Amino acid sequence: MGKELRKNPRVGFERGVDVQIMGIDGTWRRSCRMMDVSEGGAMLAVVGSVGELDLKEFFLLLSSTGLAYRRCKMVRVNGDRIGVIFLKPECKKKTASPSARRERTEALV
């Protein structure tokens, strides 16, 4: 086979891992199997049709309780398999007020 061109190496699962995908608003859910995963994305084999689903942004539920999840976006479709990338959470920088910065600087001196 050819040279691997991915940024992040993938870990493959021979039989896949049972997971679910769920709409951001929680109105739909589908069972699937995670066939491989990397730091940046995954390949999912979806049970049932995905044609009517909005896969611009959704959750990949990694646990049955929903406590482990990743926010995703679909990037490719190949039959019953979809390739997804993990979306990074938006981090807002906290800026301190001028007086708070001055107090912090004075405490360091």
Question: What confidence score (pLDDT) does residue 36 get?
Answer: 94
For residue range 67-85, what is the model confidence (pLDDT) as tens digits? 899 999 999 998 889 999 9
- Parse the chain into domains and list their residue ranges: 1-109
Question: What confidence score (pLDDT) does residue 2 get?
Answer: 42
| DSSP conformation class of 95 | -
Q: What's the pTM value of the predicted model, to 2 decimals?
A: 0.72
Question: What confidence score (pLDDT) does residue 72 get?
Answer: 95
Side chain identity at 34, as an amino acid letter? Answer: M
Out of 3.30.70.330, 1.10.10.10, 2.40.10.220, 3.30.70.100, the CATH code matching 1-109 is 2.40.10.220
Torsion angle of the four alpha carbons 11, 15, 16, 20, in this order, in degrees rounded to the nearest 10 = 180
Question: What confidence score (pLDDT) does residue 1 get?
Answer: 38
Give the DSSP letter string of 38-72: -SSEEEEEESS--TTS--SSEEEE-STTS-SEEEE
For residue range 27-66, what is the model confidence (pLDDT) as tens digits? 999 999 999 999 999 999 998 887 888 888 999 999 877 7
Cβ-contact 82, 46 below 8 angstroms: yes
